[in-house]
Structure 1
Amino acid sequence: MTADFLIIGGGIAGVSAAARLSHLGRVTLLEAEDHLAHHASGRSAALFEPNYGLAPVVALSQASEDHFHEAGGGVLSPRGLMLVAGAGEDAAFEADARALGLDEIAAADARAMVPLLGPALARAAHADHAWDIDTDRLIQSFLREAKENRAEVVTRARVTGLGRDRGVWRATTAAGEREGRILVNAAGAWVDEVARMAGVRPLGFTPLRRSMARIPAPAGHDLSRWPMLMGAGETWYAKPDAGALIVSPSEEDPSHPHDAWPDDLVLAEGLARYEAMVTTPVTRLLASWAGLRTFAPDRVLVIGPDPSEPSFVWLSGQGGYGFQTSPAASRLAADLLAGRPPALDTGTVAALSPARFV
């Protein structure tokens, strides 16, 4: 049976779109891997920081907050965010604190909150407006909504060919052929490849690798109430995670679409930047991994029908903002496809539209 909406990509973008669009018609979602949220969505830092990113991204994040408090009984838990800087990092520190809406605090107060911070700490800023996202609960909430409206979710269905005939898109996949009248491109790092298969002009997305290491709780500290730490200039970050600590070098190395893995040298350099600010060195890793954060040329999400082919819809370029923007981004896609006025202001809608690249 021909679906109304054929979604390619089973990360948070595709799953949230499936939920929203399932109220408008029949949905089929295609995911290449064995399970949903395998790539970038499965490797997220899972933080909701509504002031993080450029203005259109911030608008999406702020418009998503109510959903986070309601979905699945609520998917947020308190975390907070602390920016730390060493000597000579004043310009980067002040720019980050201003952009993220953080209040400067005394170094002694920062150490009282995070006893791990060492003598290299020169300045610190903090705010409570950052929360951990229960990403699994959020995905399951969207998935449940989609399936309640009879959406079809097909895994192990890598798309190898796309064509359109008589108003219907046909996707050739490892799980057989699927059809849909509207094609939604939510394929993460592969969005330009999907566009090429569909005969639509790629927009120039770039996947950027970001690595992470999971280390034991330093010196046996209880990390449960520590905020996420970020080095000035976003040169590294560290976030408590289930009794351990995730540390990232925050690199943005251009890559190609693939199942990413960490670069050991880059990871070591990032851990060294983290170690310079703390009292306990890293002696072992519990695990390490990497993900691809895929950005449009202007680092803003791309949401809406392609100007040259309105039945081809972009829901792409989530970068590092996929989870925290997903409620509002998927709602905008549904608003546009339903022909109803978007909840977001017209300036933000235009800034997110693929028409900006024409």
Structure 2
Amino acid sequence: MLVFYAILKGQRRHDLAEQTEFDVAIIGAGIAGASLACELSPDVSVLLLEMEAQPGYHSTGRSAAMFVDSYGPPPIRALSRASADFLESPPKGFSESPLLSQRGVIMIARNDQLTSLENMVGDLSDSGGVRRLDAAETEAAIPILRKGYVAAGFANDRVSDIDVNALHQGYLRKFRSSGGIIKTASKVIETKHTLGRWQVTTSNGTYAAKTIVNAAGAWADSIGKMAGAEAIGLIPKRRTAMVVAAPSGVNPDSWPMVIDIDEQFYLKPDAGRLLISPADETSSLPCDVQPDELDVAICVDRIETAFDLPIRRIENKWAGLRSFVDDKCPVCGFDDTVEGFFWLAGQGGYGIQTAPALAVIAACLIMDRSVPQHLLDHGIDLADLAPGRSTLKTDRKENLKRRIS
């Protein structure tokens, strides 16, 4: 069992900002780190470290997130279903505005893509709210779709926009109100484990903690290497997005999001404009990634081919990193060989919509508590999230199952 040491006795609340010893230090203040910090802070002392001047500067702050519980591999779908209640009805005072707003999605397919569409419709046959559309129905639902482009589509009505900023800031606000400390502009330079505790040296000070959590996004394998942990094979992938004007005199806000069935592009209404992307996944080094002009040109070509939407000017463009391991599922658990080192990485393009459930699971594992049954009932298996899961031995899988029983 993880034994937590207390904050120094007699320490006053106004001295907390100068505190250097914590139960848990979390590296990375994006949605993963912020949500876990919020879950842990009512019970233990938590330090949240962020290398940038503001939390969520990289992937979280550049995400055009949707809540789609039929999206991704089975473990992702289970985590998304388990996160739905929180996103639909967050705790009182968590956010001044709703976290979700109804959107809907239509996946479209040309004649040469019908096999892909039928396979996906079959895969989602047990999901409510999914309807197959013929060409005429698809064109009627998407006013600017170029006539004759699609052969069929399917609509998923159980899809919502996520207010990413409201979700992220809600977690950070609740974390601070529980006495949590966040240090920005604090890039981790060195980690050292001695006598049962970690010393974390940053560009803004040195801190001690019993446990460190690696929620560093695209930099997670670098942090793992620094701590002496085996790499999880994390691959950051660039995703490009841009905003363009809607057709003159048209307000697209009530339209569904439109996604190519093979995910070659997508188009999403965005405050009276249109957010478009080539849905690229180009491997990248961890960095402050910027859009590549070739990806921008490819996106414009694909969008103009599929839609009656001449693009004269790009109003805004950016790129973000979505980091994956081989099976495209998160890595959540203590490292096999390095004491007190916890992974919370590899959320890929699903990190926002799975954050509520994944944060609770991570907090339970760190504090050696049982994961709530109401989350597990959605089909979550901790063995699917564990570090080193591709080589997990049978006995370890059984131990994980016993932990949640």
Q: Same fold (TM over 0.5)?
A: yes
Which residue pairs with 1:333 in the alignment? 362
How far apart, CA to CA, are the structure 1 residues paired with 2:390 and 2:200?
26
CA displacement at 1:347 relative to structure 2: 6.0
Q: Give CA deviations for 1:153-201 in whole Å, capped at 9, x if unaligned.
A: 1110011111112122111111111221110000000000000111111
- Note if 1:324 corresponds to 2:341: no
Which of 88, 113, 117 matches 1:89? 113
Alignment of 1:202-351 (within 5 A): 202-343=231-372, 344-345=375-376, 348-351=381-384
8 Å contact kept, 1:213–1:285: yes
Alignment of 1:142-161 (within 5 A): 142-161=171-190
After superposing the two structures, state which structure 1 stretch, 210-219 or 147-156, moved more. Answer: 210-219
CA displacement at 1:88 relative to structure 2: 1.2
CA displacement at 1:128 relative to structure 2: 1.0
Which of 386, 395, 400 matches 1:353? 386
Which of 95, 107, 130 matches 2:135? 107
8 Å contact kept, 1:27–1:152: yes
Q: Give CA deviations for 1:239-281 in whole Å, capped at 9, x if unaligned.
A: 1111111111011111110011111112211221222111122
Which residue pairs with 2:48 in the alignment? 29
CA displacement at 1:42 relative to structure 2: 0.9
How far apart, CA to CA, are the structure 2 residues paired with 1:356 and 1:222?
47
Which of 109, 117, 140 matches 2:145? 117
How far apart, CA to CA, are the structure 2 residues paired with 1:157 and 1:264?
32
Match of 2:314, SS state, is coil
After superposing the two structures, state which structure 1 stretch, 290-299 or 264-273, moved more. Answer: 264-273
Match of 1:289, SS state, is strand
Q: Give CA deviations for 1:215-248 in whole Å, capped at 9, x if unaligned.
A: 1113432111111100011111111111111111
CA displacement at 1:109 relative to structure 2: 2.7
Q: Give CA deviations for 1:27-81 in whole Å, capped at 9, x if unaligned.
A: 0000011101100111112111111111111111110000001222630000000
How far apart, CA to CA, are the structure 2 residues paired with 1:93 and 1:62?
23
- Note if 1:45 corresponds to 2:64: yes
8 Å contact kept, 1:81–1:126: yes
CA displacement at 1:150 relative to structure 2: 0.5
Alignment of 1:68-83 (within 5 A): 68-71=87-90, 72=95, 74-83=98-107
Which runs of structure 1 show a deviation greater than 6 angstroms over 4 or more consecutive aligned residues? none
CA displacement at 1:14 relative to structure 2: 0.5
Alignment of 1:58-69 (within 5 A): 58-69=77-88
After superposing the two structures, state which structure 1 stretch, 8-17 or 87-96, moved more. Answer: 87-96
8 Å contact kept, 2:303–2:309: no
Q: Give CA deviations for 1:79-105 in whole Å, capped at 9, x if unaligned.
A: 000011122111122233344553112
How far apart, CA to CA, are the structure 2 residues paired with 1:223 and 1:139?
26
Which of 215, 220, 232 matches 1:186? 215
After superposing the two structures, state which structure 1 stretch, 90-99 or 291-300, moved more. Answer: 90-99
8 Å contact kept, 1:210–1:293: yes
How far apart, CA to CA, are the structure 2 residues paired with 1:133 and 1:109?
27
In the alignment, residue 311 of structure 1 is paired with which amino acid? G
In the comparison of the two structures, how many residue pairs are matched? Answer: 358
TM-score computed with the length of structure 2 as normaliser? 0.85
Which residue pairs with 2:394 in the alignment? none
How far apart, CA to CA, are the structure 2 residues paired with 1:342 and 1:282?
49
Alignment of 1:1-20 (within 5 A): 1-20=20-39
How far apart, CA to CA, are the structure 2 residues paired with 1:267 and 1:342?
43
CA displacement at 1:357 relative to structure 2: 4.2
Identity of aligned residues (%): 38
Q: Give CA deviations for 1:1-40 in whole Å, capped at 9, x if unaligned.
A: 3111100001100100110111230000000111011001
Which residue pairs with 1:128 in the alignment? 157
How far apart, CA to CA, are the structure 1 residues paired with 2:247 and 2:297?
17
What CA RMSD, in Å, does the superposition of the two structures yield over aligned residues? 1.5
8 Å contact kept, 1:213–1:286: yes
8 Å contact kept, 2:228–2:338: no
Unaligned runs of 5+ in 1: none
Shift in CA distance, 105/347, structure 1 to aligned 2, threshold 3 Å: closer
8 Å contact kept, 1:24–1:338: no
How far apart, CA to CA, are the structure 2 residues paired with 1:209 and 1:220?
33
After superposing the two structures, state which structure 1 stretch, 188-197 or 339-348, moved more. Answer: 339-348
How far apart, CA to CA, are the structure 2 residues paired with 1:114 and 1:158?
46
Q: Determine which structure has more spread, i.e. the larger CA radius of gyration.
A: 2
How far apart, CA to CA, are the structure 2 residues paired with 1:40 and 1:232?
24
8 Å contact kept, 1:302–1:316: yes
In the alignment, residue 92 of structure 1 is paired with which amino acid? S
